[in-house]
Structure formats: structure tokens, C-alpha cells
């Protein structure tokens, strides 16, 4: 009778050791994987040195230019791309009315400081400017829809019901 109990005990001990080993591997592997991402920080400014609010910052993975992370600059022009994986990237900065900037960068083993990036305003010359108005057919005001009668074409002398 002691042999079957001994066999069960050794089987149970083996199962416990396998579970502990698996748990140990998991606890070591997860932090190691978490350490493979870093932050990219910087400031986008105009030529006068003022921070640009609302510029789009994009990290494109090289060589295929696949979108990895994106952010918008805040009121003082600062941005942070959080948890970017280790690799080679293209930093792209775009803002309506400004020149698009593209800069290659690498993430190896530390956070990246992109520094201050200056955007240049694009000069656009126009011969003529035409202003037109589109009528919005309706506006949603929480619990009410306001209809704009000018947005709907009606026949002369038409009646509304």
C-alpha cells in the first residue's frame, strides 16, 4: 500500500514543480518583453519658437512605413509617443498649412528625445477666392433637431404640412 501512495506523492510533486517552473518562466518573460518599448518625446514649434498646438506626430516603421504610433501636440507644442517598440522608424510631423517633416530615428535601448522641430509655413498664392455657403439641413441639439428650411429645395407655392 505504501507504493501507490508514494507514486501519487511523486506525481503530485512533479506536477507542482512543473507549475512552479512555468510560473517562474512567465514572471521572467513578461517583464523582459515589457522592457522592449520606449517613449519618444519632443516639441514642435513655429519659426518664431512658439509651440504649435495640434500637429500630428506619427511613427512609421521602416522599411514599409507601417503606422506604429501617433500623437497630437499639446498647447505648448510637446508630444509623447508612448511605448514604441525597439526598431527603425520615420518620424513624420504634419500640420495644415505647414511643410511636412520626416526624420529617421532608431529606438535601441532608451527613450528618444527628438528635440525641438521647427515647422515652416507654406506660402500659397491664389488668384481668386470664392466664398460659398452650404446650408446645413439640420442641427442636433441634444433632444431636438433644428431644421434649416433653406437647405431643402421646394417648388414655388408649395405648402408645408
Instruction: Using a pLDDT cut of 90, give the percent of the chain over it.
Output: 34
With a pLDDT cut of 70, the percent of the chain lying above it is 80
Which range is least confidently modeled, 57-71, 100-114, 145-159? 145-159
| 127 three-class SS | coil
The cell numbers describing 122, all together, are 507654406
pLDDT computed for residue 35 by the predictor? 55
Q: List the alpha helices (DSSP H) in the chain.
A: 2-34
Q: Rounded distance, CA 69 to CA 84, Å?
A: 7
pLDDT at residue 153 tops 80: no
State the pLDDT at residue 133. Answer: 66
DSSP assignments along 51-95, one per residue: BPTT-EEEEEETTTTEEEEEEE--TTSEEEEEEEESEEEEEEEE-
Mean pLDDT taken over the chain: 81
Predicted pLDDT of residue 38: 92
Average pLDDT over residues 51-79: 90
Amino acid at each position: 500500500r505504501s507504493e501507490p501512495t508514494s507514486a501519487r506523492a511523486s506525481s503530485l510533486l512533479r506536477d507542482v514543480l512543473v507549475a512552479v517552473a512555468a510560473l517562474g518562466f512567465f514572471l521572467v518573460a513578461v517583464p523582459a518583453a515589457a522592457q522592449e518599448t520606449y517613449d519618444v518625446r519632443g516639441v514642435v514649434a513655429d519659426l518664431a519658437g512658439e509651440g504649435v498646438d495640434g500637429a500630428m506626430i506619427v511613427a512609421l516603421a521602416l522599411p514599409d512605413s507601417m503606422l506604429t504610433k501617433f500623437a497630437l501636440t499639446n498647447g505648448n507644442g510637446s508630444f509623447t509617443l508612448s511605448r514604441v517598440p525597439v526598431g527603425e522608424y520615420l518620424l513624420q510631423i504634419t500640420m495644415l498649412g505647414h511643410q511636412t517633416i520626416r526624420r529617421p530615428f532608431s529606438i535601441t535601448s532608451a527613450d528618444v528625445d527628438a528635440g525641438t522641430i521647427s515647422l515652416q509655413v507654406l506660402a500659397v498664392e491664389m488668384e481668386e477666392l470664392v466664398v460659398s455657403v452650404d446650408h446645413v439641413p439640420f442641427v442636433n441639439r441634444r433632444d431636438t433637431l433644428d431644421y434649416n428650411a433653406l437647405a431643402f429645395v421646394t417648388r414655388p407655392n408649395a405648402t408645408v404640412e
